[in-house]
Amino acid sequence: MIKKCLFPAAGYGTRFLPATKATPKEMLPILTKPLIQYGVEEAANAGLTTMAIITGRGKRAIEDHFDRSYELEHQIQGSPKEKLMTQIRSIIATCTFSYTRQIEMKGLGHAILTGETLIGNEAFAVILADDLCDNDGDSVLSQMIEVYEKYQCSVVAVEEVPLDQTDKYGIISGNLVDETTDTYRVTGMVEKPDPKDAPSNMAIIGRYILTPDIFDILRETKPGKAGEIQITDALLEQAKKGKVIAYKFKGVRFDCGSIDGFVQATNYFYDKEKEKLA
């Protein structure tokens, strides 16, 4: 059973400078909720209650967000504003949070390896909070847990992207194993290929379920594209043994690490939530 969710949140978020100079990218809000809260809610909805967050210098606001704020709560006690705190209060009451710092930002693979101390020897989920997912039925992570339970190996969520955008993603090749659930056995994986070298247009998005042998693989993984330790390279080792399933998830995803995606997500959630915000 998957119990823990890892949130790599140590990146510099340079595309959002100067906003991210002193504020973590993961704390930028879509409407009134920071990105990372959406991710934590998705994990909690999938039944995961242990949140393991990889932070770095300048990211202390994340820890404060998932903690009580006595002075503020005292201030709004009994006022209509209290309802704005309902969701975050419920998260704090039902989930546990642990943190470790990535000292040098050597890439997503390295950030995940840094999380070994919080995860231990069990399969776990990974959410990149800047990929914001939404849908009306089961959350993307819940859908992936079902896939994991069937195949008992690592699972990556994939989406078809326009061919001219393959250089922004890890791209997979794979064989369809189940048409009804849109699952593929991954045979190859390339990090951010040029469209002409891309094995397909199926891009890995920021949701993974990883088996714990990934840590030993990551320890041996040399820096790849951009001099960073890439999770894609480590996953490829598992894929060579037939141990990675790609799942075409149901729902929408916004790349909130980019300005376009951030604005689209804001408009989408505004249209969806405006009555509740009033």
Residues that bind ligand UTP (CB under 6 A): 8-15, 25, 54, 102, 105-108, 110-111, 128-130, 257
Count the helices and strands in the chain (H runs, E runs).
Answer: 10, 13
Q: Smaller CB distance to ligand UTP: residue 27 or 184?
A: 27
| Beta carbon of residue 67, minimum distance to ligand UTP (angstroms, whole number) | 20
| Beta carbon of residue 194, minimum distance to ligand UTP (angstroms, whole number) | 18
Q: Smaller CB distance to ligand UTP: residue 58 or 178?
A: 58
Q: Quick one: DSSP state of residue 225? A: G
The CA angle 46-98-95, to the nearest 5 degrees, is 40
Report the alpha-carbon distance of residue 206 to residue 119 in Å, rounded.
18
| Beta carbon of residue 15, minimum distance to ligand UTP (angstroms, whole number) | 3
| Beta carbon of residue 112, minimum distance to ligand UTP (angstroms, whole number) | 8
Q: Smaller CB distance to ligand UTP: residue 36 or 239?
A: 36
Q: Smaller CB distance to ligand UTP: residue 14 or 32?
A: 14
8 Å CB contact between 277 and 32: yes
Q: Smaller CB distance to ligand UTP: residue 106 or 185?
A: 106
Distant-in-sequence, close-in-space partners of 97: CB < 8 Å, separation ≥ 6: 51, 52, 53, 63, 66
Long-range contacts of 255-264 (CB under 8 A, 24+ apart): 255/130, 255/131, 255/168, 256/28, 256/30, 256/35, 256/129, 256/130, 256/131, 256/132, 257/13, 257/15, 257/25, 257/130, 257/131, 258/15, 259/15, 259/16, 261/132, 262/16, 262/28, 262/30
Q: Smaller CB distance to ligand UTP: residue 26 or 237?
A: 26
Helix boundaries (H) for 137-212: 140-151
| Beta carbon of residue 230, minimum distance to ligand UTP (angstroms, whole number) | 10
| Beta carbon of residue 46, minimum distance to ligand UTP (angstroms, whole number) | 18
